[in-house]
Structure formats: C-alpha cells, structure tokens
C-alpha cells in the first residue's frame, strides 16, 4: 500500500510498505525510514527530499490526498 499526502504549503509525504531505494547517478542509496518527504517547492538543498526550506520561502500550495486504488 502507498499513501501520498500532499501537504498544504509543504512537501509530498510518501508512506509505503517496502524499502525506499534512491538511485542517483547509477548509485543506490537505501533509505531506512517509514516515510519520506519529497520537495515540491524547489528550494530544498537536499533534493529530492524536503529539508524544510519551503517555510523560508513561504511556499504556498493547496494540500490534497492522493489515493492509489
Ligand atoms: S517542500 Fe520542503 S523544502 Fe521544498
């Protein structure tokens, strides 16, 4: 099961069963977390992840829930 919550004025929170594996430049990085936050404001210094920078730039966008059925 995958849950995606697009937070108001913030990142996309992804929660899924399994292991997250980020593949960048052909290298795999295993992320041992229950959930990950993906930046959607473009200001993160740790893309593709949210680092909280959306607050500094006063990012504004609606929040929605995405369901995969
Ligand atoms: S959404 Fe948090 S840094 Fe972009």
Q: What is the pLDDT of residues 37-56, one digit of tens each?
A: 999 999 999 999 999 999 99
- What predicted TM-score, i.e. pTM, was given to this entire model? 0.91
pLDDT at position 1 is 83
Q: How many CA atoms lie within 13 A of 46 on its CB side?
A: 11
Predicted confidence band of residue 68 (pLDDT cuts 50, 70, 90):
confident
Place of tokens 């609606």: 62
Stretch (H or E) spanning 36: strand 35-38
Identify the band that residue 69 occupies on the pLDDT scale cut at 50, 70 and 90.
confident
Task: Map out the domains of the chain as residue ranges.
Answer: 2-67
Closest-lying ligand 1 atom to the alpha carbon of residue 12: 1
3-state secondary structure of 47: coil
- Smallest CA-to-CA distance from 7 within 42, 44, 40 is with 40
Q: Is the CB of 12 within 6 Å of ligand 1?
A: no
The fold for domain 2-67 equals Ribosomal Protein L9; domain 1 (3.40.5)
Provide mean pLDDT across the span 5-18: 96
């Amino acid at each position: 099961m995958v849950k995606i919550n697009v937070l108001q004025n913030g990142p996309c929170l992804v929660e899924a069963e399994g292991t997250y594996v980020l593949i960048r430049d052909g290298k795999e990085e295993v992320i041992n977390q229950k959930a990950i936050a993906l930046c959607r404001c473009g200001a993160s210094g740790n893309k593709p992840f949210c680092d909280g920078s959306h607050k500094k730039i006063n990012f504004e966008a609606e929040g929605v829930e995405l369901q995969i059925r």
